[in-house]
Amino acid sequence: MYYQSEFDADYLASRNTQFRAQVERRIAGQLTEDEFKPLRLMNGLYLQLHAYMLRVAIPYGSLNSAQMTKLADVADRWDRGYGHFTTRQNIQFNWPALRDVPDILDALAEVGLHAIQTSGNTIRNITSDHFAGAAADEISDPRPVAELIRQWSTDHPEFQFLPRKFKVAVTGSPTDRAVTRAHDIGLRMIRRGSETGFEVIVGGGLGRTPMIGKVLREFVALPDLLDYLEAVISVYNLLGRRDNKYKARIKITLHETGEEALRAMVEARFAELRGTYPGSMDALSDIAARFRSPDLPPREHQIFTAAKAQDPVFRAWADTNLTTHKRADFAIVTVSLKAHGAVPGDATSAQMRLLADLARQFGQDELRISHEQNVILPHVALDDLPALHAALLPAGLATANVGLISDIIACPGMDYCALATARSIPVAQAIATRFEELQLEHDIGALKIKISGCINACGHHHVGHIGILGLDRGGVETYQITLGGDGTETTSLGERTGPGFAYDEIVPAIERLIAAYTAVRTNAQETFLATYRRLGMAPFKAALYDGDTSDAA
Amino acid sequence: MARKAYAQVVTGNALLEGHVVYLTAQGTWSTALTDAEILRDEADAQLRLLSAMAQAATVVGAYLADVDPDAASPKPLHFREAFRRDGPGHYVYPAGRI
């Protein structure tokens, strides 16, 4: 686990002092809102529909129990007792008062957390595989590299005013749990002989113009990584369009410049920059030492096996919410923040405190936040799982639905967000509640529904097996459905089914889709996505529109 | 065709709390839409908006929002304004609750 350096601590303290003075000047009327807005955004403070919102970065989704407890403290002392974990592995507090924000930032700095570069046209929070360091299928823990990139990109003087925001994701596993192909830069770890390096995918992104990233370079050796990243972003910094914010992301730069031409420019720049960071490998080995895998004592599994045999509730949870750990006597636990009818990604302060306690007690003090808005305990001994499950149960944290229809990603939508064109949260709640009533979700099997409340696609709807996009059509909330999206290593973008559905029609529409799927799948093992890929749109379109209950909006 | 009846309120967010606020007939700010003054004259509305925008130490992002011209009490025409008035629909968490 990474511990912040003195440099980080000093830097955070000076930034917070600076921001405190800026808040005071704004309140005293010495700064106008136009002057203050870019300053507050540099510190992660947005003004949303009903209140300010503070977005705190959780670098590569990793937290220790002290940090999780601090998030709970912030929620209790300065907010309304809860926080919202986002698809960017951040947490958002929805109700801070302006005057309190400097105190909140100071409190967060005590545990090395901050809100720097969670907004603005900068390199944002570096995201990663939420099973990093624990997954059986990974080449190596990607987080030391993610941390190296975080240090390089934080306050990078050349990249504070990019044409647009810039998102980097890193994975160390061939199984892509970090949606690397939908990031401005996605890094996939590769081993060539004895050498470790990265495939560099550039120009992916969702939003109004969804694109799957292109492999700009098949292999960059680790010692060259920062030089190569600097080359990509400096070329983008010059080429990227500043005349039109909708065409300013690197995906458009790549599209307009052409893959070959952009690659040549980056290579030329890389040749100039090579050797800019001679100390990066030393820095990386220092960082890696701090991410050393926890010493996991050998454990048995009789208690686990017995509990699975005796307790059907535990068995259902274990079957759904556990992932194979690199050690056979341990498991990766995904704690669902998607209890049926709950707000996806919301956790109360009491839930955060409990998760922190359980991480200390059973989980080597480690927690992860996934882009799918769940919390992960990456290292739990099999024999500790029954006790862990028993502790999660009364807190509403033992829902056995990970990867199922009710494990929905939803952006805050128009319940909070000033950019939203429709609500997302109640749609997610209604779908989860409906399929819980039907008792069908285990029969339906693996299915990812992702909901965005506007075309900016924070809810990743383009890569949902079923994507739902909420729009304002003539003053009425309207929901478009896409099918066949996939955010893993077999990335694909969903295709629109046709006309949208009104708010009260969207849940029945999803129900018809699912009925069509279960009717046409070859067997219970054929997933929704596989069925869609085999049969295409036709049977689903028929289910959605032929019954004549659709709205031609 | 008769000219559409005009009805708007001045709204924005309070600088300190960020909460939704509405301009009243007395020139003060209220968190309740029912307290808002319905402006039925476009020129008057623009003047009221200008004065609201000048109160930069109190309110952020003031703008005019349409309300139902036929309702006696201010009633939003667009769903976004209804959500701004009501707050998040699912909001149920008292502090500390699991």
Q: Tens digit of pLDDT for each residue in A196-217?
A: 999 999 999 999 999 999 999 9
Closest by CA position to A415, among listed A474, A475, A351, A343: A343
CATH code 3.30.413.10 region(s) in chain A? 142-290, 409-545
Question: Could you give the angle at which helices A250-257 and A259-273 cross, rounded to 10 degrees?
Answer: 110
What mean pLDDT is predicted for residues A385-403? Answer: 98
What mean pLDDT is predicted for residues A70-91? Answer: 97
For residue B96, what pLDDT is reported? 39
ipTM of this predicted structure: 0.92
Are the Cβ atoms of B18 and A82 closer than 8 angstroms? no
What mean pLDDT is predicted for residues A83-103? Answer: 97
For residue A67, what pLDDT is reported? 97
Of the candidates B16, B83, B90, the beta carbon closest to that of A429 is on B90
How far is the C-alpha of A451 from the C-alpha of A458, rounded, in Å?
8
Q: How confident is the model at residue A549 (pLDDT cuts 50, 70, 90)?
A: very low
**Number of helical (H) and strand (E) elements in chain B, helices listed first:** 2, 4
For residue B5, what pLDDT is reported? 86
Are the Cβ atoms of A423 and B61 closer than 8 angstroms? no
Are the Cβ atoms of B16 and A97 closer than 8 angstroms? yes
For A72-96, the three-class secondary structure string (H helix, E strand, C coil) is: HHHHHHHCCCEEEECCCCEEEECCC
Q: Which residue of A has its CA nearest to B83?
A: A415
Q: Are A198 and A189 within 8 A, CB to CB?
A: yes
Are the Cβ atoms of B56 and A32 closer than 8 angstroms? yes
Answer yes or no: CATH 3.30.300.30 is held by domain A6-109: no
Instruction: Supply the DSSP string of A282-307, one letter for each residue.
Output: HHHHHHHHHTPPP-PPP---HHHHHH
Give me the residues paired with residue A168 across strands. Answer: A185
Work out the minimum CA distance from B52 to partner chain A, whole angstroms.
Answer: 13
- Mutation test of the interface with chain B: which of A49, A71, A84, A351, choosing the one with the most B Cβ atoms within 10 A? A49
CA count, 13 A, side-chain hemisphere, A327: 20
Of the candidates B17, B78, B80, the beta carbon closest to that of A51 is on B17
How far is the C-alpha of A512 from the C-alpha of A540, rounded, in Å?
8
Q: Is the pLDDT of residue A4 over 70?
A: no
CATH topology for A310-395 is: Sulfite Reductase Hemoprotein; domain 2 (3.90.480)
pTM: 0.95
Q: Does the beta carbon of A32 lie under 8 angstroms from any beta carbon of chain B?
A: yes
Pairing of strands A45-47, A466-473: unpaired
What mean pLDDT is predicted for residues A293-298? Answer: 94
Q: Are A64 and A366 within 8 A, CB to CB?
A: yes
- Mutation test of the interface with chain B: which of A40, A46, A50, choosing the one with the most B Cβ atoms within 10 A? A50
Question: What is the pLDDT of chain A when averaged over all its residues?
Answer: 96
Regions of chain B short of the pLDDT cut 50: 1, 95-98
Q: How far is CA B8 from CA A246, B5, B46, B66, in A?
A: 31, 10, 10, 4
Q: How confident is the model at residue A37 (pLDDT cuts 50, 70, 90)?
A: very high
CATH number of A142-290: 3.30.413.10
CATH topology for A409-545 is: Sulfite Reductase Hemoprotein; domain 1 (3.30.413)
Give me the residues paired with residue A466 across strands. Answer: A449, A483
Q: What is the identity of the amino acid at A31?
A: L
pLDDT in tens, A417-445: 999 999 999 999 999 999 999 999 999 99
For residue A252, what pLDDT is reported? 98
Of the candidates B77, B78, B95, the beta carbon closest to that of A349 is on B95
Token pair belonging to B14: 């309070």
Q: What is the DSSP letter of A343?
A: P
Rounded percentage of chain A residues whose pLDDT exceeds 70: 98
pLDDT in tens, A230-247: 999 999 999 999 999 999
The b/e string for A189-208 (b: 16+ C-beta within 10 A; e otherwise) is bbeeeeebbbbbbbbbbbbe
Instruction: Supply the DSSP string of A405-418, one letter for each residue.
Output: TT--EE--GGGT-S
**Number of helical (H) and strand (E) elements in chain A, helices listed first:** 18, 21
Q: Is the pLDDT of residue A78 over 80?
A: yes
CATH code 3.90.480.20 region(s) in chain A? 6-109, 310-395
